[in-house]
Amino acid sequence: MNSKIITVKDLIESGKNPDILFWVGCAGSYDERYKKVTRAFTKILNDLNINYAVLGKEEGCTGDPARRAGNEYLFQMQAINNIALLNKYNIKKIVTACPHCFNTIKNEYPALGGNYTVQHHSEFLEELIDQGQIKIGKDNNEKITYHDSCYLGRANNIYSAPRKIIDSLRSELVEMKRNKKNGLCCGAGGAQMFKEAEKGNKSINIERIEEAIDTGATTIASACPFCLTMISDGIKEKNQEKNIKTKDIVEILLENIKSKK
């Protein structure tokens, strides 16, 4: 699969406009583990010859962590800068693998003049599967449990798209006792990702991992960089790395996709 990624600036200078802007996000750009998710998603986009581009070095943080931590001034500064850039390039549609970026751009940028069609990568991939553009090459025999991201699930009511991707692999999907609207947070939301847990309390990610282990799943699927980090840390703390894998849904999909070549 072709791994070439082009920036919006370069595409426009060549006389073209992207159909889709892939918003990579801070985790997808800098976190070593989540860079693999970025690569997996772009491999699929390139293999299907989808007309997309990224902002590259021009992309800034959406401001989500700043707003959740209570720094409204910083949030608005970051948001306004991003909106000015997106409007300059006449961006209409944005796809991102981060529910935090997704929620912020979709629900909070309009108040500041940023109005775009925004999709989470699970929704976008589900559409490609439904349209027959993505074909599954083999059955996935893994037992998979899916962890709902708070910002994807409760905040935006997106529960079926990630599960339909897993179902398309003909995998066995086993639900944790708390799922969908009743799902338990991974412990990273509200800028909690960047602080230590309060003393005397069990870490939320450990409680969530215990629920995942109880399902008997061999893979924990997620669709958020924060969730993937917290779940992976929980698996390490429980010494279950040899028994349970942690992956983003796009990584699982890429492993089972039928190549056009």
Mean pLDDT of the chain: 92
Q: Which residues contact 74 (CB under 8 A, 6 or more apart)?
A: 63, 66
Q: How confident is the model at residue 2 (pLDDT cuts 50, 70, 90)?
A: very low
CA distance 162 to 221: 9
Cα 76–chain centre separation: 23
Q: How confident is the model at residue 200 (pLDDT cuts 50, 70, 90)?
A: low
97-142 residue pLDDT tens: 999 999 999 999 999 999 999 999 999 999 999 999 999 887 777 8
Exposure class string for 75-103: b at 16+ Cβ within 10 A, else e = bbebbeebbebbeebebeebbbbbbbbbb
| pLDDT > 70: percent of the chain | 92
- Using the predicted structure, report yes or no on whether residue 177 has a pLDDT greater than 80: yes
Delineate the domains of the chain, giving CATH numbers in brackets.
8-126 (3.40.50.1860), 136-256 (3.40.50)
